[in-house]
Amino acid sequence: MATRKPPPRTKTTTPEPVKCGPCGGTGEVARTVRVGRKQRPVGQQAGICLTCLGTGNATD
């Protein structure tokens, strides 16, 4: 009767962080800058992603 050896421990892999959707993991999103009462768009600027708050990772 051969004694069974216990299976080797598998390395625990650290799960990759889930990228934030709106910013794509960059933590920044392009925001349209509007001015005036008519809210005329004058350009875009990089703004912090409000979904991940700049971390780039999707949070639960």
Q: Which residues bind Zn ion (CB under 5 A)?
A: 20, 23, 49, 51-52
Q: How far is the CB of 8 from Zn ion (least distance, A)?
A: 39
From the CB of 23, what's the least distance to Zn ion, in Å? Answer: 3
Q: Measured from the CB of residue 60, what is the shortest distance to Zn ion in angstroms? A: 14
Q: What CA–CA distance (Å, rounded) separates 52 from 17?
A: 12
Helix and strand element counts for the chain (H, E): 0, 2
Farthest-apart Cα atoms in the chain, separation:
87
